[in-house]
Amino acid sequence: MLAVDGPSGSGKGTIARQVAELLGWHFLDSGALYRLVGLAALTAEIDFNDTDTLANIALGLEVRFANKGGDERIWLQDREVSAEVRSEAAGAAASQIAPLPAVRAALAQLQRGFRRPPGLVADGRDMGTVVFPDATVKVFLTASLEERARRRYNQLKEKGIDVSLAAVSKDMAARDRRDTERSVAPLKAAADARILDSTDLSPEQVTHQLLDWLKQAGITPKH
């Protein structure tokens, strides 16, 4: 089991997916689950403080992930929600509902269900600290705010979304603050996590470093 945590834009999603693919392991994008609860709250106009209703939604999430040609797709019951889940609105809503302990407890239970042979790579904010404290290898991936904002800005531009770098950077700083300062499962490295700053590294270099650490723990790629 590999846990990869870090702030948004640190590249953890891309790297964790790639490492899962190389190992032939399952992959869990835990942020997508928070985004789904956030989306449900937006769609049904549920107040972000309505803990009971939101926790019930989290408990009842019928989510399915599928990887088609390297492209991750997400279904909620029978409805494909891949694009909605990745929207900035869903990300912002996710970080609003993420501080609620009852929502976190429900989603942690759901997340642990993804751990199946031959192994799991899970990415998020509290994979190594709370959800999978016994993970074989824990990595905390960071990068400067400037670099993370630049990466997110480029991604959005590629998708044809019109935003300014300053606005992306401001949103990201606000989300970082909410994730780091919340009292339940704040974003932080586990005491036994390996910390990697990806500011000046290519995705290939980061993947290489993770594979090295896995190798030291006796885990090697399938080919």
The span of 27-35, 62-70, 147-155, 156-164 binding ligand C5P (CB under 6 A) equals 27-35
Could you say which of 2, 143, 179, 219 contacts ligand C5P (CB under 6 A)?
179
The span of 29-37, 58-66, 151-159, 203-211 binding ligand C5P (CB under 6 A) equals 29-37
Q: What gap in Å lies between CA 180 and CA 177, rounded to an integer?
A: 5
Nearest-CB residue for ligand C5P: 31
Segment 147-176, which members bind ligand C5P (CB under 6 A)? Answer: 175
31 belongs to the binding site for ligand C5P (CB under 6 A): yes
The span of 76-84, 88-96, 141-149, 159-167 binding ligand C5P (CB under 6 A) equals 88-96
The span of 28-36, 133-141, 192-200, 211-219 binding ligand C5P (CB under 6 A) equals 28-36
* HSE, side-chain direction, 13 A CA sphere, residue 2: 38
Q: What gap in Å lies between CA 58 and CA 105, rounded to an integer?
A: 9
Could you say which of 27, 34, 114, 153 contacts ligand C5P (CB under 6 A)?
34
Dihedral pair phi/psi, residue 44, rounded to 5° = -90, 10
CB nearer to ligand C5P: pick between 11 and 91: 91
CB nearer to ligand C5P: pick between 138 and 179: 179
Helices 203-216 and 12-23 cross at an angle (nearest 10°) of 50
CB nearer to ligand C5P: pick between 128 and 137: 128
Catalogue the E-assigned strands of the chain: 2-5, 26-29, 63-68, 71-76, 79-80, 120-124, 137-142, 194-197
Q: How far is the CB of 19 from ligand C5P (least distance, A)?
A: 16
Buried b vs exposed e over 47-73: b needs ≥16 C-beta within 10 Å?
eeeeeeebbebbeeeeeebeeeeeebe
CB 4 within 8 A of CB 121: yes
**Contact residues for ligand C5P (CB under 6 A)?**
8, 30-31, 34-35, 91, 94-95, 98, 124-126, 175, 179
